[in-house]
Amino acid sequence: MAQHVLQPSSRKVQVMPPVLRGFLWAGVGFLAVNALVATLWPGFGHPWTTEVSLTLGWTAALAGWLLGVGAYEEVVLPLFGIRAPIGEATGWRRYFGFATDHKVVGIQYLTCSAAAFLLAGMIAMAMRLELTSPTLFFFRGSGQYLAAVGVHGTIMMFAVATVALVGGFGNYCVPLMIGAQTTVFPRLSALGLWLIPAGVLTVAMSPLLGYWTTGWRGYEPLGSQDPGGILFYYLGVLAMAWSSTLVSLNLVTTIVFCRAPGLTWPRLPMYVWGILTITLLNLLWLPEIQITFILELLDRLVPLNLFNAAGQPLAQLELFWLFGHPEVYVIVVPAFALWNEIIPVMAQKTLYARSWAILGLIVVMLLSGLVWAHHLFTNMRNAEMIPFSFLTEMISVPTGFGFLAALGTLWRSRYRLTTPALLVLMSLFNFLIGGMSGVYLADPPVDLQVHNTMFVVAHFHYTIIGGMIFAWIAACYYWLPKMSGHLYNELWGKLLALWIFLSFNVAYSAMFLVGLEGMNRWVAAYPPYLQSLNGIISVAAWALGAGFLLHAAHIVWAWRKGPPAPDNPWNGRTLEWLTTSPPPPCNFAAVPVVTGNFYVYGTDVPPAATHWDRFQQQRETQHPVSGSAPRLQAATRWGFRLFLAIQLIPFIVLLALRYELMGAYVASQVNQRLGMGEDFFMLCSLVSLWRALAALPRQASASINRRLHCSLGLGILYLALLTCDGIHRAVPVGTPYGGLFYTTLGISFGYTVIGLFVLTATVVRIRRGAIPGHDPWPIQAAIWYWLFQGAVAMATNLDFHWL
Amino acid sequence: MDFAIFGVVWLGASALAEWGWLHICRQSLGCLISNEGILAYHAFNFVTIVLLPIFLFVSGLIVFALLPRRAGDERPPHPCECPSRPTFASCWSVGTIAANLLLWLHPTVFDMQKIFAAQLPANNRHDLVIDVTARQWEWIFSYPQYHLRQTVNAAGLDELVIPVRRPVDFRLRSADPFHPYDIEADVIHSFWIPAFGIKEDVIPGETRNEYVMATQTASYRTNPEVRVQCAEVCGPGHPWMEAPVRIVTARQFRAWIHRQQRWQRSRASR
Ligand code: HEM
Ligand SMILES: [Cu+2]
Ligand SMILES: [Cu+2]
């Protein structure tokens, strides 16, 4: 069994520790490319760096970093059909390298999030220090304070709030909870992890380039005027968003394809439902925000004049919140799911209204894309306010279903008040306040008063810290025995829980008040009448910060020295408790078979079993089960198509922007002859590839290779013409229309370069003796990618050149 | 039994909380002195009155779970026991939908109707027009009906003076009057007088109107909420992008206008 469990390669070659090598390659990449660009294209102020050289240098550094931490051996060489010269590390070294075990990746994500939380938390402590005084005294200038706000918010959002419960516990627990032995794209997720430290470091270094002032939303046109630091905000967010995209792709595919036999959709655990819904949100909206940030970056470098008075400033705000609101549900939905995962176990009582709770998660997901404009009530036509406030108020109905299930289960239960159980109740309570303050914000007349005041800051910290961070800590205690095999100290756990609960509520309830009294956001200085309340907030905030540190210390202590835990200390019924603690590398000695509902108590029939015979029976009688080779193959294909589908989103955004900005530009003449040539070469290249695909079943290596070469050459010609189109500058650059035109060209260019790279790798692979017919998938994938992006390129080309 | 105890405690606590809110804390939204602000104030209080019992219900159930089960509670709870099974879920859904619909109709829709009506051109023929220009980082006020280009106080700082009980039409622009040809000149600001209870973003390339009427006289000197405050981050100067406001009687306003006109003439002749 378990033929896919990775065997460490026997030929071991000693290399530098991966993280060290990553830093080295990143540094070399940065210096080389930065120097090259700054020399070729000098000017713009600084002699050694320009914003262009920084951007390209950073890109090279990121590539160097990823290759250095292991992508070189584990991704690039295999693409060319070369076997990796080193195997995976063992022992603690696994955590500092390229790890394909989802449990290692999960712990890596959790550690990264915790470190990011510490870093951004320290910044918050400094901000609270500044706010003890009505005048500026701690930071050197208001710009520095605003840069601190931006770095704090960005890191907290993109490396903590949307990561800890998804990349962290999602990676660790979801495969265990569905009885899978591995995830579908282990190498992708190993790679994606290392984008988080890269992104966090990038954002943290941004003040070196100048104090940017926009905060985490990067509103335009302020962003394009800000000092250079905002460059590293765009780039860092791009890296972290990629990480979440890869996590989501991997988990969604795993959930769809790798469930244990008998684990039907209605039986799916609550937490898995939560992760499933939000990974779908991520896949939809992360590409959208990435293209938006790329546009902002280009707007700054070129400039494109898309988002200032010449274009449409509001377009950027809308694009931001279209993503931004679903983002907040990516943060809290896993927390909702956790409540109902932990409460029935701690109460040993059947989960009440389970189907309602699941329905709630799904409806929240569906509605989350429809309420975004409530962030823009101060920018709205009257007629738009009423529907958006309606939808916003109504989203509390499905949210309430999470409460309904939790409270119904708690009712008259013998709730075991362990630390995670207590923290879950605190999360419920805090989120109740966070959600109820949202009801005020949904009413436009009230919102027009409290919008952009500290009331809003308190509201979102109540939902994020109060709801999500408390649930995260609860999950840490709940799954600690599973991950480490050790228990924590119950007394300390509860005391510390109480500590953060009290300090959190003091700090943030006072923050509501200070907002109601007229204190606005993003201010390092304020009118003196607000000082006493701010003092209370700061003291409580420091206590809160200390409380988080103590929790971290307690968890680390318990992990290493805590009393040993039994395999199933809480008497949980979901699948992760069916294996040992900590689980073996392949998760389950035998694949479990699910026969019942995990959340029904009061019966002695277990919901799942690991009977080998029954599993064998299933395998023989039913469709291919999870983990089997055909199933994994199907999963890979499905995931790959999903990946291609989300690549469409940037083009849709660009198209939408063209229509939104219609009033702002004069469509100008593009070079139609060049466009015709581009389409011709692309079409020929596609036809030739299509014939290669058709030749695959005949296993005719030589003819396949010939056709691949042919389409490679045509692709290069296409790229050359595309470059001409760019250099030719038929469309004036500094106009919104030009901006969208060249951005679309640029993205086509990027996709084509990737496609050519993959195609080249395939050609090399066949040259090196890979027989296409034996393992057709890599070739098919390369071809599909090329077909897909070629078709998109042609369609957009058509759109721009003729429509 | 539990049900009855919980019900009584909840009703009692709700009554107490409502009483406390109505008699002690109802000024939470601050002192609001404009027609729009008074709407916001009543809406805030109404929402609170609806939310208080709901808050106490949910948090009460959470606290109830914390209480140790009484020893005398002889019947061990069945693991499937829920508050009278599906009835609770149905009541809950109907209840939340009803509460949300209520809050959406009143205050939201009712108030919005009033605000929309107040903005109709027919209702704003005789407004005092004040052109507000936001630039990094200054609020510039001009009164075109009185040919005042930029009003300042004795210290030379921009000053906004509004007559009480007279509708005002603020025309909001974000631009740099000193560099009118620079399309990249300015950024988004937000025009906010905390005591008025309303704010509106000011966007480069757009002109927006905000209609309000002050309901009582006030001054920044006695109430720091009577100030113009930028409420959208606009760069390092953002915290200090504020201006004092005075709300005066019609007579005082006329006197102030005359003084400003005199100053403007003397500045011009200098
Ligand atoms: C450790 C306790 C924390 C404290 C004391 C704290 C404090 C603050 C303060 C003072 C601000 C500036 C508000 C403003 O003027 O706009 C802020 C902004 C923010 N915080 Fe926190 N925070 C904490 C934790 C968190 C966490 C855990 C998250 C999310 C995971 C978070 C997310 C944000 C965001 C998104 C912003 C907005 C930044 C912006 O306006 O660009 N914070 N926080
Ligand atoms: Cu939102
Ligand atoms: Cu401002």
Over the stretch A515-534, which tens digit does the pLDDT of each residue have?
A: 999 999 999 999 999 999 99
Minimum CA distance residue for ligand 1 atom 43: A124
Q: Which tokens go with A686?
A: 């596609």
Return the SS3 of B173: strand
Q: Which tokens go with A468?
A: 């999500």
Domain of residue B244, CATH code:
2.60.40.420
pLDDT digits (tens, 9 = 90+) for A46-90: 777 888 899 999 999 999 999 999 899 888 888 888 877 666 677
CB A770 within 8 A of CB A698: no
Cα separation of B5 and A802, whole Å? Answer: 74
Q: Indicate whether B100 and B156 sit together in one domain.
A: no
CB B200 within 8 A of CB B38: no
Instruction: State which H helix or E strand residue A458 sits in.
Output: helix A454-461
Neighbours of A668 (CB within 10 A): 12
CB B170 within 8 A of CB B207: no
pLDDT of A9: 43
Backbone Cα Rg of chain A? 27
As beta bridge partners, residue B207 has B173
pLDDT digits (tens, 9 = 90+) for A243-275: 999 999 999 999 999 998 889 999 999 999 999
Checking if the pLDDT of A489 tops 70, the result is yes
Q: Indicate whether B41 and B112 sit together in one domain.
A: yes
A121 lines ligand 1 (CB under 6 A): yes
Structural domain including A37 reads 1-6+30-87
Cα separation of A388 and A373, whole Å? Answer: 7
Q: Indicate whether B183 and B207 sit together in one domain.
A: yes
Count of domains observed in chain A = 3
Checking if the pLDDT of A308 tops 90, the result is no
CB B159 within 8 A of CB B243: yes
Residues of B in contact with A407 (CB under 8 A): 58, 61-62
Residues of A in contact with B205 (CB under 8 A): 308-310, 312-313
pLDDT of B262: 93
Q: Which tokens go with A52?
A: 């262009």
Q: Is residue A393 part of a domain?
A: yes
If one residue of A457, A468, A502 were mutated to test the ligand 1 pocket, choosing by the most ligand atoms within 8 A of its CB, it would be: A457
Torsions phi, psi for A133 (to 5 deg): -120, 140
Which residues 6+ apart lie within 8 Å of A552 measured at CB? Answer: A114, A118
Structural domain including B135 reads 127-269
Cα separation of A725 and A286, whole Å? Answer: 29
Instruction: Considering only the beta carbons, identify the residue of B39, B62, B96 that sits closest to A396.
Output: B96
Q: Indicate whether B188 and B215 sit together in one domain.
A: yes
Kind of pairing between the strands at B218-219 and B227-230: unpaired
Whole-angstrom CA distances from B7 to A406, A527, B3, B60, B80 are: 19, 45, 6, 10, 22
Q: Indicate whether A65 and A157 sit together in one domain.
A: no
Cα separation of A802 and A676, whole Å? Answer: 10
pLDDT of A6: 42
How many CB pairs (< 8 A) connect A and B? 253
Cα separation of A737 and A748, whole Å? Answer: 17
Percent of chain A surpassing pLDDT 90? 58
Checking if the pLDDT of B163 tops 60, the result is yes
Q: Is residue A659 part of a domain?
A: no
pLDDT of A495: 97
Which atom of ligand 1 is nearest the CA belonging to A131? 10
The DSSP annotation for A404-424 comes to HHHHHHHTT------HHHHHH
The arithmetic mean of pLDDT across residues A716-720, rounded, is 90
Q: What is the DSSP letter of A577?
A: G
The arithmetic mean of pLDDT across residues A195-204, rounded, is 97
Q: Which tokens go with A645?
A: 């589908």
Q: Is residue A642 part of a domain?
A: no
pLDDT digits (tens, 9 = 90+) for B88-143: 888 999 999 999 999 999 889 999 988 888 888 888 888 999 999 999 889 999 99
Which residues 6+ apart lie within 8 Å of A775 measured at CB? Answer: none
Ligand 1 center from residue A91 Cα (angstroms): 37
Checking if the pLDDT of A359 tops 50, the result is yes
Q: Indicate whether A690 and A738 sit together in one domain.
A: yes
Q: Indicate whether B134 and B256 sit together in one domain.
A: yes
Checking if the pLDDT of A7 tops 50, the result is no
Q: Indicate whether A386 and A483 sit together in one domain.
A: yes
Q: What is the DSSP letter of A44?
A: S
Q: Indicate whether B81 and B181 sit together in one domain.
A: no
The arithmetic mean of pLDDT across residues A700-708, rounded, is 82
Q: Indicate whether A354 and A288 sit together in one domain.
A: yes
Domain edge (last residue) among A561, A595, A629: A561
Q: Is residue A596 part of a domain?
A: no
Q: Indicate whether B43 and B22 sit together in one domain.
A: yes
CA proximity to A313, closest of B51, B21, B205: B205
Highest-confidence segment of A312-326, A460-474, A606-620? A460-474
Count of domains observed in chain B = 2
Domain edge (last residue) among A561, A592, A626: A561
Checking if the pLDDT of A803 tops 70, the result is no
CA proximity to A728, closest of A632, A801, A658, A644: A801
Ligand 2 center from residue B235 Cα (angstroms): 24
Cα separation of B219 and B216, whole Å? Answer: 10
Q: What is the DSSP letter of A486?
A: B
ipTM of the complex: 0.95
Any idea of the CA torsion for A54, A56, A62, A65, to the nearest 10 degrees? -90
Domain edge (last residue) among A511, A530, A561: A561
Q: Per-residue b/e over B126-160, b at no fewer than 16 CB within 10 Å?
A: ebbebbbbbbbbbbbbbbeebebebbbeeeeebbb
In this prediction, residue A305 has a pLDDT band, given cuts at 50, 70 and 90, of confident
Which residue type does A187 have? R
Q: Is residue B122 part of a domain?
A: no
If one residue of A117, A119, A149, A160 were mutated to test the ligand 1 pocket, choosing by the most ligand atoms within 8 A of its CB, it would be: A149
Q: Is residue B31 part of a domain?
A: yes
Checking if the pLDDT of A772 tops 70, the result is no
**Which of residues B34 and B87 earns the better pLDDT score?**
B34
CB A131 within 8 A of CB A533: no
Q: Is residue A321 part of a domain?
A: yes
Q: Indicate whether A194 and A261 sit together in one domain.
A: yes
